[in-house]
Structure 1
């Protein structure tokens, strides 16, 4: 099948730092709607699609790292119209913002997105305020940056194909999965307590604790599970979106104010950490409920978290700030 994509010659975008694979998905979405976008990673490119550019900082000493970052900053500000930085900056302390204002050859507009620990419990980095054409925050960070527009995470539905979810299910009992990248933040302790309680009560199910795997391996684990236990703090993560794309019901703790403000139609089973066991039991015992939640999750992700949907929104922003 032949597909023609007409690229906009007036706009070229660089995404910086592939946190949770969201910038990679954004870049793919932009390219699909005709906006040339490339990805720069600090370390070796992630497995998922890789990155067009990598500084490979882990292979350099501190002086070489500084030189590489400065050289890349000067190159990027000359060769891109928009530099969209994700939970990071090209230069330490966000010094790229004030420097870009005084360097005559710098043409790029700077956009900052804050996705997690870079802003949680903190203030917006001071130097970034000196030259910021647009700023976004994840919905669960809105209180740390009042008035800043919230941007949802996005995933590539071509990679997380719902059609491929069917038929990959392994035979056996119901599989409940938890895949923490940070046990403390994800509240893995509460998950393990719930699992132990259910096992003591005699509920039959398989539990998988998945850690330290590649994205391709994670996708296969998600395809073969029945229920995902995401994170039990205040909001859901990219992993929840990936699971919903594969029509898996998801459990998480969603703070009421964030839910009302940003996603009142979210189909994730909202449960307090001390109530995980009861919610898991209900889903394990009710296959019909699992299927319904799976369908609702896919519809929600298609509407809110598809990288093409988010890319269209960003395209308008990029065009406005470069006009």
Structure 2
């Protein structure tokens, strides 16, 4: 199967999908016309919107399936989706959270959520209505995102975040560490709750020995090298689910701290993930407990690595994706 991923790389996910699909004997290529400082380049073709638009006809002729991301496509106004549908090309749309998260829905179950980076609610509705009229299947990373897009598609499938476990070897926290290193890596400080994290860390520094490092605006490989040194990794406190930083932390054998809504705990593969769940009201106690127990930090790290191996390995996730591709291809016939 020949597969196009476009037009926006999200946390290295497109690159991992393409890498693994190619290893499985398929031909997958990812296009990215947004530049970021993270340096995700593996299996990605850097381009711009005009160049990608000029390639569209050739791509439509040569490729079998189109996997779009972040409620975006190649041509402004989604005209390419109509042409692909007319040509009988299977398509899926992959949503990643901020492209579809609506405050009116999110706030019903989460008093902490921040949706400032999301488009206006009317824009989200218009885009999803347009896309869902042409593409029958949506993909989301978890059930926190699921409710935002469910009304717009015939089917919505949950595909876990993927990591390359070969590149993320575990470095479990040392139980004897007396001054643990706490790491926080916000791509969007307002969304992640960084001000709250740093306020609580400041309070705890007056009570417990700890070191703190904020990691941002850094190439991904450099950031991962710093995660390896951490004893505790704090991801996001407001969203209601865990993100890619938590998955990478678990893969590295680190205890991951993130706010996971109670109603979502039973929806993850394999049951509740070994995330140290903390919201703005509970972070102080959760973090203090981890700081005071080296054995707990190590235990959570071991549990996290096992969970990442079982549910977030790029090969296992891509096998799920291939089954979905086969289903979508059957719909298009």
How far apart are 1:91 and its partner, in Å? 1.8
* 2:132 maps to 1:149: no
How far apart are 1:133 and its partner, in Å? 4.6
Alpha-carbon deviations, 1:259-291, whole Å to 9, x = none?
222353200011221221211111111111111
Structure 2 residue corresponding to 1:215, chosen from 207, 214, 220:
220
Structure 1 residue corresponding to 2:77, chosen from 93, 98, 101:
93
Where does residue 117 of structure 2 map in the other structure? none
Structure 1 residue corresponding to 2:130, chosen from 122, 127, 136:
127
> Is the alpha carbon distance of 1:199 and 1:44 closer, same or farther for their aligned partners in structure 2, counting shifts above 3 Å?
closer
Where does residue 300 of structure 1 map in the other structure? 307
> Is the alpha carbon distance of 1:52 and 1:253 closer, same or farther for their aligned partners in structure 2, counting shifts above 3 Å?
closer
Structure 1 Cα separation of the partners of residues 204 and 44 of structure 2: 47
* Structure 2 counterparts to residues 1-323 of structure 1, below 5 A: 11-16=1-6, 17-44=8-35, 47-55=39-47, 57=48, 65=49, 67-87=50-70, 88-102=72-86, 106=87, 108-121=89-102, 122-123=124-125, 125-139=128-142, 140-146=144-150, 148-162=156-170, 165=171, 173-200=179-206, 202-233=207-238, 234-263=240-269, 264-323=271-330
Structure 1 Cα separation of the partners of residues 160 and 173 of structure 2: 30
Q: Which runs of 5+ in 1 are unaligned?
A: 1-10, 58-64
How far apart are 1:172 and its partner, in Å? 7.5
> Is the alpha carbon distance of 1:272 and 1:43 closer, same or farther for their aligned partners in structure 2, counting shifts above 3 Å?
closer
How far apart are 1:14 and its partner, in Å? 1.6
Structure 2 Cα separation of the partners of residues 157 and 93 of structure 1: 38
CA contact (8 A) 1:35 1:315 kept: no
How far apart are 1:199 and its partner, in Å? 1.6
* Paired residue secondary structure (2:253): coil
Structure 2 Cα separation of the partners of residues 33 and 167 of structure 1: 35
> Is the alpha carbon distance of 1:236 and 1:37 closer, same or farther for their aligned partners in structure 2, counting shifts above 3 Å?
same
RMSD: 2.3
Question: Under a length normalisation based on structure 2, what TM-score does the superposition of the two structures give?
Answer: 0.82
How far apart are 1:203 and its partner, in Å? 0.8
Alpha-carbon deviations, 1:202-221, whole Å to 9, x = none?
31010001111111111111
Structure 2 Cα separation of the partners of residues 303 and 21 of structure 1: 20
> Is the alpha carbon distance of 1:33 and 1:47 closer, same or farther for their aligned partners in structure 2, counting shifts above 3 Å?
same
Q: Which runs of 5+ in 2 are unaligned?
A: 103-123
Alpha-carbon deviations, 1:81-109, whole Å to 9, x = none?
1111111211223332113234xxx4632
CA contact (8 A) 1:174 1:226 kept: yes
> Is the alpha carbon distance of 1:198 and 1:52 closer, same or farther for their aligned partners in structure 2, counting shifts above 3 Å?
closer
* Paired residue secondary structure (2:317): helix
How far apart are 1:23 and its partner, in Å? 1.5
Structure 2 Cα separation of the partners of residues 12 and 168 of structure 1: 46
Alpha-carbon deviations, 1:153-196, whole Å to 9, x = none?
1111122233xx36999x88310010000011001111011111
CA contact (8 A) 1:156 1:306 kept: yes
How far apart are 1:127 and its partner, in Å? 2.3
